[in-house]
Structure 1
């Protein structure tokens, strides 16, 4: 029985046992997900060569998945396997323009597109053998909203219209709590949307749900697994469940899009948290210049470095998603107003005359070396160089001190817990009261934050020095060799790009002999996202590397 058959059979049996006229309180008792004994699974994991992959748990010990999946299960059960099979070739791995063309021709509707993705989510996430533990919440109104998009599709003005999008669960929405994966934020009430969510909805996007992440955006526990959170459990990589890391902290954004659970997802990054999971999941991920997309309504680490960004299966979709989120936000001092669109205009694979910086220290990677040769064969001018030696001393102190400052502000404006838990120190005390459930890997980074003491003047000097050094690291070779971009691997140079405020674009480059994905990362000057995306599109067409995960191809 294939995965889709499994879900259909399971839900039909379930529906036959429960009358649709049952009271809501009775329906809530139905179990779609049954927790299982994972003792042997965890014991086997201790043999993994990476300490971060030696999991203590996989299923969340805190949250019941049934709370997430029950509200929409009847609608998903009613979506037939036959219709799913008809739509699969039109949806799987297709870009947004192709999807919109199919809908314009009447081949499917926005409601059916949404149901298609929900069918995949229910099929794979409710089977212990395939669950990626990546879905944190589903929008209970999404099908109603999809029907409204169908009814009003003559109003479509942006290509994101009607496209189901997933959000990292540190992005605030009025309909679903932003938890950052933390137990303390599970039941906070909120009636606000993050600015980027308002922009997406204004452009007609459908917010399908929320996805797992490394708890507190991987600024919580020291040396713990990427993609772990108390509420979501352990996110797993579709290219190798329990074998390859998911990347972090936007682990769920990466794994869910890689498995075709949505058109695209929004991640967030302080230093590497979009680029890392995009690389690990064979996706296109863009870390934009700070301010290109508003940060208001996002659980913060650092107001200097934090930024959201698009994660998609191709550059075309990443550009469309970026464009749909842009806009000046008065609440975010770094926010900019962009007068031009980020949607791709040229769309060619000609690199003639493009000067691309090649970091000498990376040439020992055979996939990198082969990939840049492919680019050279299509007209790119490769310029090998050695980056300047500049320190990033104090980088963690910048994050420590700004999180200590910024988190209480977020708690006051976007949560209902600020009166009782107003600070990082109070949250640490809350966690310690039930450490097994709330912090099984400890809270070592929180400890370090509390022990870091630099005064305001020292922090200002630190911030300025890091910006100078980050700029020098990239701008010195860019100006000396007149480079259009610098080519890196995965998130190898994300810290320098973060402090220097340089945008990064990860593009699938191939797979290691083990099957683990690897990305070519293009880094360009601040506020050059439009030209970076055009360049990335050409690179993507030449390398043509992305493949759907084998276990999630049906």
Structure 2
């Protein structure tokens, strides 16, 4: 195991008191910041404003997050590792501000990256020991943009291994990082695949986190952990330097404490990247997202509603209806969608992902340093069958993907793409 991966977090210093009721804050052990500035429950916007005003410094903020992670994450398993140069990054930010050379509103703000995004100085493992020596020579485009904006890249968040695309019984953790736990109730799932990112944001382990999504992996953990998740339109944010599932569906986006925080990050990470050809038109759709925030945005908007089944608990049903009341009070029109009218695109999605995974993963592995022995999906399968740390989980998705032609021109693949787009567009959101 690499040196950085051995820097796992120390055991929790206090017992986690679990909250088991709906609507409460994540439970916190007996812990208080020993610094003059507490990062607990602070939004990215608040921290940015406090850094700009001189109320605090990045070194204090970064140290506060590291202290919380060290004290509280031992049982939650949301963070794989802290960047060894995190405090040096913070000191550099403080020096820039002192010299009147701030790089902008995110300068000095600590953010965690899901461990399938390349970041110089740390391995990108995707949660697998097969990639423990994958120290990228370049930042992913997302990390590059954040670093250029002065962000303190605090470390790597845990995830469902390979973003949940290993087997049909995928769990929300990884062999490298363990199994993240829901901070509201540790007996419940934090959802995946951006499980660590969701838990870390809810627990104030960073000002925000970056997740990825192929089919629910940002919005699911955000919902379950009580935070805001933004899944950008595919290729609005570059996927270069991200361990892929499918370039047809992969996206990367912010997981934050507020909508305003998500907009602040999107302002930085969105845009065209010549090394992600799918993003060639992204700049045409850019807008100043933070400036576009509008408290009256729901006025006159149509919002589709799929009500939960009556078998759901009374608490969930009541909270769901209360949320609808808030939406209508803000001027939105609710459009009921009967459950029997829903279309299921999952068969098409499965066919697309199985074909794409082999193509896109093999392309990513070609970019990894020579220290990575796994160069193809076939190599990954062989490693995971032979390594005792990896062979306790099945690999049916990988086996099925390896059996495909490894191209994007098959008639069956093209038919699945066409059908999937029809079901999700013409017969999906566009019908509203």
**TM-score class normalised by the smaller sequence:** 0.7 to 0.9
CA distance in 1: counterparts of 2:288 and 2:296, whole angstroms: 20
Q: Which residue of 1 aligns with 2:386?
A: 433
Q: Which runs of 5+ in 2 are unaligned?
A: 13-30
SS in structure 1 at match of 2:120: coil
Q: Which residue of 2 aligns with 1:246?
A: 190
SS in structure 1 at match of 2:367: helix
After superposition, residues 327-342 of structure 1 pair within 5 angstroms as 327-335=271-279, 336-337=282-283, 338-342=285-289
In 1, are the aligned partners of 2:304 and 2:336 still within 8 Å (CA)?
yes
CA distance in 1: counterparts of 2:106 and 2:41, whole angstroms: 16
Q: Which residue of 1 aligns with 2:49?
A: 101
Farther off after superposition, 469-478 or 421-430: 469-478
Cα drift, residue 417 of structure 1: 5.3
Q: Given the alignment of the two structures, is residue 343 of structure 1 paired with residue 290 of structure 2, yes or no?
A: yes
* Structure 1 residues 457 and 264: alpha-carbon distance in aligned structure 2, compared to 1, 3 A threshold: same
Q: How many residues align?
A: 397
CA distance in 2: counterparts of 1:342 and 1:218, whole angstroms: 30
Cα drift, residue 413 of structure 1: 1.0
* Structure 1 residues 417 and 305: alpha-carbon distance in aligned structure 2, compared to 1, 3 A threshold: farther
CA distance in 1: counterparts of 2:370 and 2:48, whole angstroms: 40
Cα drift, residue 31 of structure 1: 10
Q: Which residue of 1 aligns with 2:324?
A: 372
Cα drift, residue 429 of structure 1: 1.0
User: Deviations for 1:376-421, whole angstroms, at most 9, x for unmatched residues?
Assistant: 2333222323375544233211111100111111011134356x43
* Structure 1 residues 411 and 320: alpha-carbon distance in aligned structure 2, compared to 1, 3 A threshold: same
**Equivalent in 9, 29, 37 of residue 87 of structure 1:** 37
CA distance in 2: counterparts of 1:400 and 1:341, whole angstroms: 36
Q: TM-score, normalised by structure 2?
A: 0.85
In 1, are the aligned partners of 2:8 and 2:81 still within 8 Å (CA)?
no
In 2, are the aligned partners of 1:158 and 1:324 still within 8 Å (CA)?
no
Q: Given the alignment of the two structures, is residue 218 of structure 1 paired with residue 168 of structure 2, yes or no?
A: no
Q: Given the alignment of the two structures, is residue 170 of structure 1 paired with residue 116 of structure 2, yes or no?
A: yes
Cα drift, residue 339 of structure 1: 4.1
In 1, are the aligned partners of 2:160 and 2:194 still within 8 Å (CA)?
yes
**Equivalent in 176, 181, 188 of residue 127 of structure 2:** 181
Cα drift, residue 330 of structure 1: 0.5
State the Cα RMSD in Å: 2.7
In 2, are the aligned partners of 1:174 and 1:192 still within 8 Å (CA)?
yes
In 2, are the aligned partners of 1:351 and 1:378 still within 8 Å (CA)?
yes
Q: Given the alignment of the two structures, is residue 124 of structure 1 paired with residue 72 of structure 2, yes or no?
A: yes
- Bigger CA radius of gyration: 1
Q: Which runs of 5+ in 1 are unaligned?
A: 1-24, 36-79, 479-554
SS in structure 2 at match of 1:374: helix
CA distance in 2: counterparts of 1:304 and 1:318, whole angstroms: 23
Which protein is richer in helix relative to its size? 1
After superposition, residues 142-221 of structure 1 pair within 5 angstroms as 142-153=86-97, 154-221=100-167
**Equivalent in 63, 78, 81 of residue 134 of structure 1:** 78
CA distance in 2: counterparts of 1:339 and 1:31, whole angstroms: 39
* Structure 1 residues 449 and 98: alpha-carbon distance in aligned structure 2, compared to 1, 3 A threshold: same
Q: Given the alignment of the two structures, is residue 421 of structure 1 paired with residue 370 of structure 2, yes or no?
A: no
In 1, are the aligned partners of 2:299 and 2:332 still within 8 Å (CA)?
yes
